[in-house]
Amino acid sequence: MTTTTLKTRTILSLLLAACVHAAQGAEPLSIDQRVTQLMKRMTLEEKVGQLTQYSGDADPTGPVAVKGSLRDGISSGQIGSIFSAKGTRSIRQYQDLALQSRLKIPLLFGLDVIHGYKTTFPIPLAEAASWDLEAIERSARVAAIEAAAAGIHWTFAPMVDIGRDPRWGRVMEGAGEDTYLASRIAAARVKGFQGRQLGDTDAVMACVKHFAAYGAAVGGRDYNSVDMSERMLWETYLPPFKAALDAGAATVMTSFNDLNGIPASASRYLLRDTLKGKWHFTGFVVSDWRSIEEMTAHGFVANNKEAAQAALSAGNDMDMESGVYRENLAQLVHEKKVALADVDDAVRRVLRKKFELGLFDDPYKFIDPERERAMLNKPEHRQAAREVAAKSIVLLKNDRAVLPLSKSIRKLALIGPMIKLGVENHGYWSVTVPEVDYAHQAVSAWDGIAAKLGKDATLLYAKGSDIEGEDRSGFAEAVRVASEADAVVIGVGERWDMSGEARSRSKLDLPGVQEELIKAIVATGKPVVVMINAGRPLVFDWTADHAPAILYNWWLGSEAGNAVADVLFGDVNPSAKLPMTFPRSVGQIPIYYNHFNTGRPAPNPTATEWVSAYTDLINLPKFPFGFGLSYTTFRYADLKLDRQTLRGDGKIKVSIQLTNTGKVAGEEVVQLYLRDRVASVVRPVKELKGFRKVALAAGETRTVDFTIDKESLSFFNAALQWNAEPGDFDLMIGASSADIRLQSRFVYAR
């Protein structure tokens, strides 16, 4: 049977059923009623099928026949979801097979759309540096529009794991170290992905991951264990999940780690008690890749059958890739080791989403090659990517106002192994990179700068060194080229795939001889701008101390080079602020701004005797959380609190006057921090509780407002109750966590 006849038949039979129902004068069935009706017709094996997901084996650059076992599994209704198949041509093949199954239950297609689909946006950590919730939501929106047009129903994003340890390569996927910022960003991403409502053909289901505490892997080593107090879990690691769920996230993915000895994929505490219990989550939970099967390696279960039993019973609805549900669940139900009610609950959750997506009304709803052609890489998507990319670039240093460079510069030297990289700018977890899809190459810094300057300027080039390795043979040429130029831009950093999953590193210096290359170029005395590509905070103390200007560019996506040129030449004034603390040395990690004071806080940055400090290191980070410069300057003045005492459920209105004191327009991220002076459990030295990104013309002044309420003061006490305690609070407003410009105090009274 051809696809078209199949499609027509399915739609006809569904329409017929609906007409009969309507002719009987009945109300249209609710989704839950439709799920119930369908489940009555399902065998146990078919139910298990809905809980089984495999990665697709279609060639990513074009469709090939779906292979044997996968083909049979889908057409016999034993597989409910496929991930990593992409493009309408490929996806149609799979859906055709599903519609050959007895009950014709459509497949659900998932993919890691982490920062864009064809149009790649900056890596999530970079976007977090923008502190621009609208831009971040727009980025996820564009990703959803493109992915949905390519047949995808579901993205495995946002990743909301708090990252306090830059050795962990997956910090590039998250929003950094701060719970408040990460929570706001998690909600923005979910809204962007899911659009107006599930079922629209420009929306994909979000999957908030990895539940939970994956970012706290001991030593920053990926997949490592996590051991933490419940208080820390609830206060620091869980809120971004809650924020994503409150924003409507349809699904949740478990994490690879064990948490206090229990693998997350079989944690009843996390899944049944917290997520589905306390938080009333009605979507479904998917395991991470083979994480159910991996519980044997954890030593938590003896075999795959026990793994299936433990995971399903704990509330893990869908098994990604390990096949242990498919092989064992039906038997486990027969043996009464798994309750049928638990299986039914999981199936109901999955089917509900398929109904919400409208797949039962039209399984081919997302498969429209015309739409796919029209939507991918649209000019306005590229434009949005360029804007977000420019907003994500952090200006770390700008001595003697080296930046912005003049557009009428005559000779500019571009040096370093990153300058001419194209497709690599897509970064880790891009959908495009594995295809080496040259049609959708990202713009290199070289091309972006050349396009900006036009023909009147001469660009000189020397690679200087590789990213890794000891080869210094290119240094002399690089120095010669630099000496001939009016200014030099050096592009160095980590290779795009040095951060990401399974990319933990014990050294965070600029790899290879790149910092030596910088030293050689800085020694020429020319105005030098160092641009660093990386997926995490790196350690580059010499460069930070000696290079006059530094831009932290992360990995910026399809429009990288254009965005870089926009910032280098002042068409965009940088406004990003670091979402993670940058250490001076790997030995300082984990390092984060919202630490406790301890009983022996260091009174100054160099104190070491009998205080909490390292004897061989200044007691400060290299660049603090929230830090980032602009081409203009801002004055913070006139802090006002409308009252000094906050009572019960009341509010304090806080305002300041922010003035752009420089000569160009710019945006500032005004940050509000609080400190609870005395509490029943010790509280951080400061905690971000609000921020505003404000655009000001040169010379302009604006009032910036914040509201503080009981929620802003609340925390989990020793009994894990969320509450605010009466007493004194410090209020700090500043341009970074370490650059507090205005301070006050207030009292909370019940």
Residue 609 contacts residue 721 (beta carbons within 8 Å): no
Say how far apart CA 139 and CA 378 lie, in whole Å: 13
225-244 residues labelled b (16+ CB within 10 A) or e (exposed): bbeeeeeebbbbbbbbbbbb
Gap between the Cα atoms of 617 and 609, Å rounded: 13
- Report, in Å, the least distance between residue 112 CB and ligand BGC: 5
Our separate counts of H helices and E strands in the chain read 23, 26
CB of residue 216 to ligand BGC, shortest distance in Å = 15
Among 118, 153, 164, 209, binds ligand BGC (CB under 6 A): 209
Nearest to 672, CA basis, from 651, 688, 656, 659: 688
Task: Output 288 or 559, the one with its CB closest to ligand BGC.
Answer: 288
Alpha carbon distance 371, 91 (integer Å) = 14
Nearer to ligand BGC, 429 or 636 (CB): 429
The distance of closest approach from Cβ of residue 91 to ligand BGC in the complex, given in angstroms and rounded to an integer, is 16
Residues 211, 288: Cα–Cα separation, whole Å: 9
Give min distance, CB of 120 to ligand BGC, in A: 17
Shortest separation between residue 677's beta carbon and ligand BGC, angstroms: 40
What is the side-by-side order of every strand in the sheet holding 52-55?
Answer: 154-155, 108-111, 81-83, 52-55, 319-320
- Residue 499 CB, shortest distance to ligand BGC, in Å, is 14
Mention every residue, 6+ apart, whose C-beta is less than 8 A from residue 314.
265, 266, 267, 268, 271, 272
Nearest to ligand BGC of 53, 465 (CB atom): 53
Note whether 375 and 141 are within 8 A (CB): no
Distance CA 403, CA 401 (A): 5
Measuring CA to CA, which residue among 638, 633, 629 is closest to residue 578? 629
Under a CB-based contact definition with an 8 Å cutoff, are residues 725 and 677 in contact?
no
How many other CB atoms are found less than 10 A from the CB of residue 311? 32
Is the Cβ of residue 156 or residue 625 nearer to ligand BGC in the bound state? 156
Exposed / middle / buried, residue 500 (Cβ in 10 Å: 0-12, 13-18, 19+): buried
Q: Which is nearer to ligand BGC, 119 or 255 (CB)?
A: 255
Cα 129 to Cα 579: distance, rounded to the nearest angstrom = 5
- CB nearer to ligand BGC: give 375 or 431: 431
Selected from 96, 288, 668, 687, the binder of ligand BGC by CB under 6 A is 288
Positions 84 through 113 that interact with ligand BGC (CB under 6 A): 112
614-650 burial, b at 16+ Cβ within 10 Å, e below that, comes to: eeeebbbbbbbbbbbbbbbebebeebebeeeebeeee
DSSP conformation class of 30: P
Minimal distance, residue 355 CB to ligand BGC, in Å: 24
Alpha carbons 596 and 654: distance in angstroms, whole number: 25
- Closest distance between ligand BGC and the C-beta of residue 252, in Å? 12
Closest CB to ligand BGC among residues 360, 428: 428
Q: For the segment 504-543, give every residue that binds ligand BGC (CB under 6 A).
A: none
533-537-542 Cα angle (round to 5): 80
Please say which residue, 117 or 446, places its beta carbon nearer to ligand BGC: 117
The distance of closest approach from Cβ of residue 506 to ligand BGC in the complex, given in angstroms and rounded to an integer, is 21
Q: At residue 371, what are phi and psi to the nearest 5 degrees?
A: -60, -40
Q: Which residue is nearest to ligand BGC (CB)?
A: 156
What are 336's two structure tokens? 């009464």
CA atoms within 13 A on the CB side of 368: 13
* Cα separation, 451 vs 120, whole angstroms: 20
| Shortest spacing between CB 291 and ligand BGC, in angstroms | 8
Ordered alpha helix ranges (H), 258-365 = 268, 295-298, 304-314, 324-334, 340-356
Nearer to ligand BGC, 140 or 449 (CB): 140
Residue 189 or 365: the one with the smaller Cβ distance to ligand BGC is 189
Q: d(Cα 253, Cα 214) in Å, to the nearest integer?
A: 11
Of 246, 309, 295, residue with least CA distance to 275: 246
Give the per-residue contact string, 154-193, with ligand BGC (x = CB under 6 A; - = no).
--x-------------------------------------
Minimum distance, C-beta of residue 209 to ligand BGC, in the bound complex (Å): 6
Residue whose CB is less far from ligand BGC, 50 or 255: 255
Taking the least distance from each CB to ligand BGC, the nearer of 287 and 737 is 287
**136: part of which helix (H) or strand (E)?**
helix 133-149
**Smallest Cα–Cα separation from 533: which of 419, 401, 438?**
419
Respond yes or no: is residue 258 known to be catalytic: no
* 289 lies in the binding site for ligand BGC (CB under 6 A): yes
**How many residues line the site for ligand BGC (CB under 6 A)?**
6
Q: Which of residues 478-497 bind ligand BGC (CB under 6 A)?
A: none
Catalytic site residue from 132, 288, 447, 676:
288
Smallest distance, ligand BGC to C-beta of residue 53, A: 10
Prior bond of 404 cis (ω within 30°): yes
Site pattern 111..140 for ligand BGC (x: CB under 6 A): -x----------------------------
Q: Which residues are catalytic?
A: 288
Footprint of ligand BGC (CB under 6 A): 112, 156, 209, 288-289, 501
